[in-house]
Structure 1
């Protein structure tokens, strides 16, 4: 039986199975095994019978047969042979003992070795958190080198009124807070929120790379923040940057200390928890401009400087904390203690040991101006700190900011082919729209929470799993309400951004497509990091892998392809776009197939948005969050028979775009024809009329189980 089991085993074995087979082989080889002859009924030896026991039997028989030949030649040998046979028998007994002992030892050893060789298998990772096995777009050479470094620092924290960070997971982070006055009360301003009731805030100009200008209008005071980057001789990776902050009174105000004094709080924090050194500038800002210093592997040694003729004193506080999203609370708590003890709103001039956050309070009479400068690579032999600092402050900074503003204005006219007849007001609105779009670009890093079905056994008692750690470089739809990435919003953003800077646009699109999982699904909302998470209600955190979001990125790609065919790009740009599309094709194809399979309806060529809640008792018409048109009225009773006309249109756009890309890249004709066939089917008006035309209203509508016969009943409860 053992032999038969070994014979029929043919599938590849794991290491542990090989151990088991090896053990069985040695164990059975020591046993005399035979099988019955099917014809004669006699037993015949099998190959397994060639065991050690059999070998020893044959050796003994051979010795007996050869004895008469050996005896006449050497009689002494006969005696020695006899004596040796006796020893063999004794040894034979010992060998059996040793063999038994060895088998037992082997089994015991195997008992301990087996868990090491074949450890308990972990639950298989769900497909939903498995990345698509394709080269990443963000790894393309066009996004490395000078491009990556030029975009390293930026105003990539759209959720705060002013914030700076680098495009790296554990970054140095800088930001601005200030105390606003309303109805005789103080309020801290930091995170963008409408409840602050600022009259105005936003970027009036921003080029997306190294310059931006912002206006923030309080009830009685206006602040301006100007941001500028510079890569000077001696700078570390990413270069240097400067922030000019100005404060003006909005109107004639009485001689009130509360209203005439501005309290600004500029801070530096390290997301990696590295500590800072406090500079001598906190003791006397006019004697030494260094507020803080530190060292990082990316930028090298760095310094933060403050230069202002209007600022009379600087106060500070240092905090050791792993989080920065609650920094406003830390500062307010510190100020509250000082106010109770001493009756004034000044930071405590104290610090935790090894602080990872330093906050500097800059107080001055309005109007005033202050220049804050970050210098990288300050410890190199030829760092030229004083020269670089001088270039980014005072009159020199004023000149640089004016040059950048003029460059922005000129490029705006050229980029959008504006005529001189366009009024200044319309042009200003356009600049603000572009400035806020580019100034709202953020960088995020973290892991999204993905919903798992109740049948999953991966996380007992939990209905979620974390996506892989990922970074996202993206514009955001709203700084106060939605300061994070939304998939369908991004396609509309890129309709504007690609015309301004094609490389920024492709970089953003690449980041989104790199988030695709093995099924071709991309989360519709990316909530990455503690700061982003702090702005999202708990019920909206989970992302559902069964639900899509309009593939609006095809809108931008369609326009880029059209401009490419019209030769509107420079030769180098055209080449890079083609390389990008070539690598992106496998991801775009997986994305299209995900929609075409998971969001398809019962009828050929029909589609419907999944994710509507048919069991809700809170809504008469369940929302369709996945469509982007959240509360657009669809069928009152969601089911699988629905047909959504907007998704059909998106699928036509996607199919037609895929056909255009295949044609542009001169891909296999079958690929081009396949997408062309789908696009043609979805543009067939006869089929469209059959599925979606409402003749009575003369409109194309969704199809589904809908009723308007709803009766509201007042429920009564007895207590």
Structure 2
């Protein structure tokens, strides 16, 4: 790689940039008369930057494959043992008291709180963006419990791609020591649209450790250190590891262990340039005594609305005020959760969910050859891609990647807050569809994502499905659209695509454009409809069950999960829930129910697009699915819906395990409101010896032989996503005019108590532990398994918005 010294490179780039930026700027300045295109451009800009590296406590990047990524590392520098616990990647072993975005909107920014007990440190990070979305600022304030504690921060920034560059502008006293405490960078990114400035500075009240006679002046902890080096694009995410390699060089330079004991750690744990030339990764280290503050600003040079240290606070205050007002407007909580403490709780849960939205880019490992008809098949993946995905993550600590079956649940609260954002995420997911209609159930894109996943889960297979939860979003969206006042666009409609979170006078149009403008919604539906059709037919062809002379309304509408093993049915999402033997011709009632959800949504979208023949076909198939649920899966003996398998004579027999699987026809509202089966289902739900607890509905009946046996993942404990679906179904059946009086009475009783039980328990555990949890203990209500699991646990916010009772 050709090296050009600092200012020569800077001047050379200016000559290159002046032409490139003019072309880019003029192209962007052209007004496209098409409404959809104008909305798309404004939407992209408003979502361009964010903390889109959710696996990190603080990681900033754009929604572009090759641009700039940034992050923060911190550690106690007054103790050699603490440096091994340096913070960077969200890790449950860090034992944070709590962390997460307490206020956050992806279009505006927000505030993250981190209580780092081991480090004796409270961190507050504020992230803001300009109204146009091109510029951003990050402020990190640290409060040390010990006023003499010495904390070191390493901010890093790297550029990806051969058409991007980043060079330091600040003067340096030595190859590693910056003159003063402000570090300024000049950069250029073709994908971002031109030149930019990146500045790193510190608060006026920040203090640095004093020192005596230094062994090496290059290791002065009172100075700001900077080192740059050339790193392959796919290794930029290893910035923390690279920093430690450089620190190790300092340690190795001291051969006498006794001498090392006499040197304060902060005078060794500093960046030193071992003779490296400027490259695409820059590390900036600042070491503080007691409390501290740093501010990072990123500004495109050709923009007028720039973020500075001086205007940062006012922008942050304005953004927080506006997003809190928006939350209160969108989430008018119902009794008894319309009080201050619950409103704050709901806002924090939603903010943390959206603070887990990430942008991922890279290849994935896919096995397209292995036959899944054999139990315990080993997959051998080959790289495919690269692909990119904009997605929520279930947990920033344990599941920091996209999960197909989680995403539909995660998008439900977001749909209520910012429907345009929810649809943008869905569009990103369906951009991953392959020629057959398959979307991988786990999106493990690139080496950074693979580094945190056990080997047995990395490889994906195009015959393995997952519950199509995102199809539920379309039904909810159309319901919301039908109940919103339509917006009539004016000539200056494009100008209103601005949030002006920094205190301007613009309209908060972005976020509801699809709901308020039928043309934009229809255009979105028309664009995604062919992909949905392909995906739908992929489900029907790859997951179809064996007929074996079975009798039902339509033998084309019978299904089984492909790719399960003897102990787990990972494709179903309910991993260890009891099933029949894996090598039999089973039919799975939960998959048939999910196909009902999918078919119902396809019919609604076809109707929206005036695809009359398609709508009629999907409606017919939905009727067949409902009939097959009764013909094949209802067990009169057990009075519940069950999976079906075969005996030694190849005759159908029921495999019944009362719990979430058997409730699927109910939670997806595929049972007629006047069905006599409903009262049996309701009685099972309300029975404390079966499914009912004081904290929510059990995943498996207390009377089942597999209750709390084995791995005990989906074998008894409480999951919020299924409890939300149960509540939603109770609301539906309790409001139907043709439900019997007995059903209406019991649904109201269950609904009222269940809503209160689940919300109160999740709230109580959040206040007790500082976290939302993956699941909740059915005996004690305590959160367990993965903590900092916002994912579908965030559905508790929608429960709080539901009415207190059905009467």
Q: 2:396 aligns with which of 479, 489, 492?
A: 479
Counterpart among 223, 245, 267 of residue 156 in structure 2: 267
1:626 to 552, 559, 571: 571
- The 2-side partners of 1:203 and 1:159 are apart by 13
Q: TM-score, normalised by structure 1?
A: 0.70
Please point out which of 123, 137, 142 is paired with 1:242: 137
Q: Is the 8 A contact 1:316 1:350 kept in 2?
A: no
CA shift, 1:183, in A, is 11
Q: Residue 140 and residue 607 in structure 1: after superposition, are their counterparts in 2 closer, same or farther (change >3 A)? A: farther
Contact 1:325–1:534 (8 Å) recurs in 2: no
What secondary structure, in the 3-state scheme, does the structure 2 residue paired with 1:192 have?
A: coil
1:452 alignment counterpart: 368
CA positional deviation for 1:336: 2.9
Deviation at 1:288, TM superposition (A): 6.9
Deviation at 1:169, TM superposition (A): 0.9
Residue of structure 1 equivalent to 2:608? 664
Indicate the residue corresponding to 1:226 in structure 2: 126
User: Aligned Cα RMSD in Å?
Assistant: 3.0
Match runs of 1:384-423 below 5 Å: 388=306, 391-394=307-310, 396-418=311-333, 422-423=338-339
1:359 — aligned with what? 283
SS in 1 for 2:156: strand
| SS, match of residue 157 in structure 1 | coil
Per the alignment, do residues 548 and 214 of structure 1 end up closer, same or farther by CA in structure 2, a change over 3 Å counting? same
Q: Among 421, 428, 432, which residue is 1:515 paired with?
A: 432
Note if contact 1:285-1:306 (Cα within 8 Å) is conserved in structure 2.
no
Say how many residue pairs are matched: 538
Gaps of 5+ in 2: 1-34, 209-222, 255-262, 373-378, 489-512, 548-554, 647-654, 657-703, 707-807
2:601 & 2:349 partners in 1: Cα distance?
27
Question: How far has the Cα of 1:292 moved from its partner?
Answer: 2.5
Equivalent residues in 2 for 1:428-467 (5 A)? 428-453=344-369, 463-467=380-384
Following TM superposition, by how much is the alpha carbon of 1:463 offset from its aligned partner in structure 2, in angstroms? 4.2
Shift of 1:536: 1.7
- How far 1:681 sits from its partner (Å)? 1.8
Which of 547, 553, 564 does residue 612 from structure 1 map onto? 564
What SS does the corresponding residue of 1:174 show, helix, strand or coil?
Answer: strand
1:646-705 deviation digits (Å, cap 9, x = unpaired): 11111111111111112222222x221111111112223xx4244223344432222236
Residue 487 (structure 1) shift? 1.1
Residues in 2 aligned to 1:679 and 1:324: alpha-carbon distance in whole angstroms: 49
User: SS at the partner of 2:70?
Assistant: strand
TM-score normalised by L of structure 2: 0.63
Q: What secondary structure sits across from 2:100 in the alignment?
A: strand
Q: How does 1:634-673 map to 2 (within 5 A)?
A: 634-635=579-580, 637-639=581-583, 641-668=585-612, 670-673=613-616
- Report the alpha carbon displacement of residue 311 of structure 1 after superposing the two structures with TM: 5.2
User: SS of the counterpart of 1:448?
Assistant: strand
Q: Please name the residue that 1:144 is paired with.
A: 40
**Conservation of the 8 A alpha-carbon contact between 2:143 and 2:292:** yes
Q: Matches of 2:109 and 2:179 in 1, distance apart?
A: 28
Conserved in 1, the CA contact under 8 Å of 2:156 and 2:239?
no
Whether the aligned pair in 1 keeps the contact of 2:76 and 2:150 (CA below 8 Å) is no
**Which of 694, 698, 707 is the equivalent residue of 2:635?**
694
How far off is 1:709 after superposition?
11
Please state if 1:330 is matched with 2:242: yes
Could you give the per-residue CA deviations for residues 437-471 of structure 1, whole angstroms, max 9, x where no partner exists? 21111111222221021599xxxxx9434334322
SS at match of 2:320: helix
Structure 1 residues 315 and 709, CA gap change in structure 2 (3 angstroms): closer
Query: In 1, are the aligned partners of 2:181 and 2:201 still within 8 Å (CA)?
Result: no
Contact residue 311 and residue 370 of structure 1 kept, 8 A: no
Q: Tell which structure's C-alpha radius of gyration is larger.
A: 1
User: Which residue number in structure 2 is paired with residue 567 of structure 1?
Assistant: 484
- Structure 2 residue aligned with 1:301: 195
Task: Find out whether 1:372 has 2:268 as its counterpart.
Answer: no
List per-residue Cα deviations over 1:284-313 (Å, max 9, x = no partner): 878573332222223422222123211543
User: CA 1:583–1:598 in 2, change beyond 3 Å: closer, same or farther?
Assistant: same
Change (3 A) 1:688 1:198: same
Unaligned runs of 5+ in 1: 1-138, 233-237, 457-461, 614-620, 711-719
Summarize the Cα distance change of 1:449–1:523 in structure 2 as closer, same or farther, 3 Å threshold: same
Deviations 1:326-384 (A, max 9, x none): 2221112222332454642111145622321111111112212221111222xx5xx67
Aligned match of 2:169? 279
1:142, CA displacement in angstroms?
5.9
The question of whether the paired residues in 2 share the 8 Å contact of 1:223 and 1:246 is answered with: yes
